[in-house]
Amino acid sequence: MKLAALQMVSTPDVGRNLEAAARLIAEAAAQGATLASLPEYFCLMGQDDRDKLRIAEDDGQGPIQDFLAGEARRHGLWLIGGTLPIKAGNGERVRNACCVYGPDGTRAARYDKLHLFAFDNGKERYDEAVVLEPGDAPRAVQAAGLRVGLSVCYDLRFPELYRAMSFECGAAPCDVISVPAAFTYTTGRAHWELLLRTRAVENQCYVVAAAQGGKHENGRRTWGHSMVIDPWGEILSVVEEGEGMAIADFDAERIKEVRVQLPALGHRRL
């Protein structure tokens, strides 16, 4: 079984972004991927944060959700649909929702990003809470016979979330953790690989991290470096910048081997 992390450099044009996503999904399917993930904000990197409100969809219906369902069905794979804005509250804010679709096009799960990014170093300033409403619960899903933990971008900095998705959302640890992201160039260069490999090592599972990676038309630059990581923290595949795909084999025996040799998950006291 192969896991694929699809890297994009999304634009302010939804149509162009869907075309790029379709191209990458088709490539992943052609290379034998069973599970593929798009990056955070795959459908829109707008000129302004409030552009998300303009394209926000009702839960369960809309052209972006229809696109994801159709691509999963067309290629017969499990698709983690990065994120898209789904309406929340009174319409002044949205949820940054990660929807997962099975090979028949049916939605299997929805996870809303719990932790909202804020950053200000005097040169760059971001505050997702201006338009986003946080989610309210961790989520894991059964996909392709695997237990897949769902997270998004800034969530990566909160290790307790990954413990919760294994030990509160179910009886077994995750086989795979998904991290669709749009890390900034500044924070990504410093922390992206470090945090991803740490999550893989401490949870002794595979990590599939699909990222935005490059210079966007809105002037923002994202770090990229989409990757697939094994349970020992080894990077199996990476694409540094620009549109592309990181793809690698999932090996259930590798997880067993790591967890038997170093039974850290069984040694938990808290």
What residues are annotated to the active site?
A: 40, 113, 153
Q: Rg of the chain over CA atoms, in angstroms?
A: 17
Three-state SS for the chain is: CEEEEEEECCCCCHHHHHHHHHHHHHHHHHCCEEEEECCCCCCCCCCCCCHHHHHCECCCCCHHHHHHHHHHHHHCCEEECCCEEEEECCCCEEEEEEEEECCCCCEEEEEECCCCCEEECCCCEEEHHHCECCCCCCEEEEECCEEEEECCHHHHHCHHHHHHHHHCCCCCCCCEEECCECCEHHHHHHHHHHHHHHHHHHHCCEEEECEEEEECCCCCEEECCEEEECCCCCEEEEECCCCEEEEEECCHHHHHHHHHHCCHHHHCCC
